[in-house]
C-alpha cells in the first residue's frame, strides 16, 4: 500500500533562487543507465535565454535534458538548477522547470483538453473549480477556447503539442525544456509552435533535429556519444554539425550509425 501514502520528503530543504544565473550548472556529470554510460564528464553553465541541443539519436541529448528536471539524477557530479541541487529538490522542480515531451500522446495525462490544463493549476494547489475556470481563461488567452471540451485523442498533431505546451506553461515555470517538440508536426504547425516559443518569457532549452529552428538561438550545444563535441553560437556550431552529418552520410551504408 506504500504508493497510496503521500510522498514523505523534506520539501523545505531545497533553496531555490528563481533568478539564479546561470540557471543550470552541471559539474563533472556522468550518467549510467542500466550499465550503459550515457553521459560522460559533462560540465555546462546554462544562462542564455535560448539554448539548442543537437546530436544524433543516442548521443545522450534526452538524458541530458532530463537531468534538468530531475527525471534523471547524475551517477557522478552535480546538477544545480536555479541554485538547488536536483537530488535534494525533486518534489519542487516541476514548479520551476516545465518539460515538454517529444510525443504529445505520451505526455497528456487527462482525457480532455480542459482537464489537462487544469491539472497544472491543481498541482499548484488550486481548488478544482478555480482551476477549471483558470484553465478556460488560459485557453482563451491563447485562442484555444474552442478546444476546451474536446477529447485529447481527437486533436490534430499540432493541436496536441500546443495543448501539451500550454499545460506546462500554465504552471508558469522559469525554464522550459523541450525534447524534439516539432518532430511530429507539419511545416505550418512547427512554425506556429516555434513562434509561440519565441515570444515566451521563459528560458528555453530545446532539442531539435530541424536545425533551421535553432538559427535564431543564443547558443547551441552539440552532443556526441555522451560528450560535448562543440558548444557556441549557432553560426559556428550548426554549420560544423551539418558538415559532419554530410561526411558521415557519404560513407558506405553499414547499418552501424543509423
Partner 1 sequence: MPADPEKEMSMNDRTLVQIAFYAALTAALGLLPKLAIPVAGGVPVTAQTLGIMLAGVMLGPVRGALSILLFLFLVALGAPLLAGGRGGLAVFQSPGAGFILAWPLGALAAGLIMQKTASWRVLPAAALAATVGGIGVVYLFGIPGLAFLADMSLAKAAAGSAVFLPGDLLKVVVAAAVAETVARGLPSALLSRS
Partner 2 sequence: MISLYMPGRSWCHRLPAWLKLTGLAVVSMAVFPIKDIPVLSAVLVLVLGLYASLGTRGLGELRALRPMALMLAMIFALHAITGDIWEGIVSVERLAALVLLANLVTITTRMDDMLQAVMRLFAPLGWFGFSPRKPALAVTLVLRFAPVLLGVYSSLREAYQARTGKRGSWRLMGPFMLQSLAMADNVAEALTARGSADGLADNNPGALPARTIT
Smallest separation, CB 78 to partner 2 (Å): 21
Give the nearer residue to partner 1 in terms of CB position, either 11 or 49: 11
Q: How many Å apart are CA 210 and CA 238, to the nearest integer?
A: 11
What is the distance in angstroms between the CA of the first residue and the CA of the last residue of the chain? 44
Quick one: which of 29, 42, 60, 69 contacts partner 2 (CB under 8 A)?
69
Q: How many Å apart are CA 225 and CA 120, to the nearest integer?
A: 35
Give the nearer residue to partner 2 in terms of CB position, either 51 or 93: 93
Does residue 101 touch partner 2 according to CB under 8 A?
Answer: yes
Task: Report the site for partner 1 in 21-80 (rule: CB under 8 A).
Answer: 70-73
How long a stretch of residues is the chain?
258
Does residue 167 touch partner 2 according to CB under 8 A?
Answer: yes
Name residues whose C-beta falls within 8 Å of residue 65's C-beta, 6 or more positions apart in sequence. Answer: 53, 99, 177, 179, 205, 207
Does residue 9 touch partner 1 according to CB under 8 A?
Answer: yes
Cβ-contact 258, 249 below 8 angstroms: no
Does residue 71 touch partner 2 according to CB under 8 A?
Answer: yes
Give the nearer residue to partner 1 in terms of CB position, either 52 or 70: 70
The 3-state DSSP class for residue 167 equals helix
Does residue 105 touch partner 2 according to CB under 8 A?
Answer: yes
Smallest separation, CB 258 to partner 1 (Å): 22
Quick one: which of 30, 47, 58, 90 contacts partner 1 (CB under 8 A)?
90
Does residue 20 touch partner 1 according to CB under 8 A?
Answer: no
Kindly report whether the peptide bond that precedes residue 22 is cis, defined as omega within 30 degrees of 0: yes
Smallest separation, CB 115 to partner 1 (Å): 14
Give the nearer residue to partner 1 in terms of CB position, either 42 or 79: 79
Give the nearer residue to partner 2 in terms of CB position, either 44 or 90: 90
Smallest separation, CB 12 to partner 2 (Å): 6
Strand residues in 47-197 grouped as ranges (E):
50-54, 76-81, 84-85, 97-100, 175-179
Quick one: which of 25, 168, 175, 213 contacts partner 2 (CB under 8 A)?
168
Q: How many Å apart are CA 147 and CA 141, to the nearest integer?
A: 12
Cβ-contact 98, 166 below 8 angstroms: no
Place of cell 551517477: 75
Chain centroid to CA 27: how far? 20
Binding-site partner at residue 52 among partner 2, partner 1, none, CB < 5 to 8 Å by type: none
Q: Which residues bind partner 1 (CB under 8 A)?
A: 1, 3, 7-10, 70-73, 87, 90-91
Amino acid at each position: 500500500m506504500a504508493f497510496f501514502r503521500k510522498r514523505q520528503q523534506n520539501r523545505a530543504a531545497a533553496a531555490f533562487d528563481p533568478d539564479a544565473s546561470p540557471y543550470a550548472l552541471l559539474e563533472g556529470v556522468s550518467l549510467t543507465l542500466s550499465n550503459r554510460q550515457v553521459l560522460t564528464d559533462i560540465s555546462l553553465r546554462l544562462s542564455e535565454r535560448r539554448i539548442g541541443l543537437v546530436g544524433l539519436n543516442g548521443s545522450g541529448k534526452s538524458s541530458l535534458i532530463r537531468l534538468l528536471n530531475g527525471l534523471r539524477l547524475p551517477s557522478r557530479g552535480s546538477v544545480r538548477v536555479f541554485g538547488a541541487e536536483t537530488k535534494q529538490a525533486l518534489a519542487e522542480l516541476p514548479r520551476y522547470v516545465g518539460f515538454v515531451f517529444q510525443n504529445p500522446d505520451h505526455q497528456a495525462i487527462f482525457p480532455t483538453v480542459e482537464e489537462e490544463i487544469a491539472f497544472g493549476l491543481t498541482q499548484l494547489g488550486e481548488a478544482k473549480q478555480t482551476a477549471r475556470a483558470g484553465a478556460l481563461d488560459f485557453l482563451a488567452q491563447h485562442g484555444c477556447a474552442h478546444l476546451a471540451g474536446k477529447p485529447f485523442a481527437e486533436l490534430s498533431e499540432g493541436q496536441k503539442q500546443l495543448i501539451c505546451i500550454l499545460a506546462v506553461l500554465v504552471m508558469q515555470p522559469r525554464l522550459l525544456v523541450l525534447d524534439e517538440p516539432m518532430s511530429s508536426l507539419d511545416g505550418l504547425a512547427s512554425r506556429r509552435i516555434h513562434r509561440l516559443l519565441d515570444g515566451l518569457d521563459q528560458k528555453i532549452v530545446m532539442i531539435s533535429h530541424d536545425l533551421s529552428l535553432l538559427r535564431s538561438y543564443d547558443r547551441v550545444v552539440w552532443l556526441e556519444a555522451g560528450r560535448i563535441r562543440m558548444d557556441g553560437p549557432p553560426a559556428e556550431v550548426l554549420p560544423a554539425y551539418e558538415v559532419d552529418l554530410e561526411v558521415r552520410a557519404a560513407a558506405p551504408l553499414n547499418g552501424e550509425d543509423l
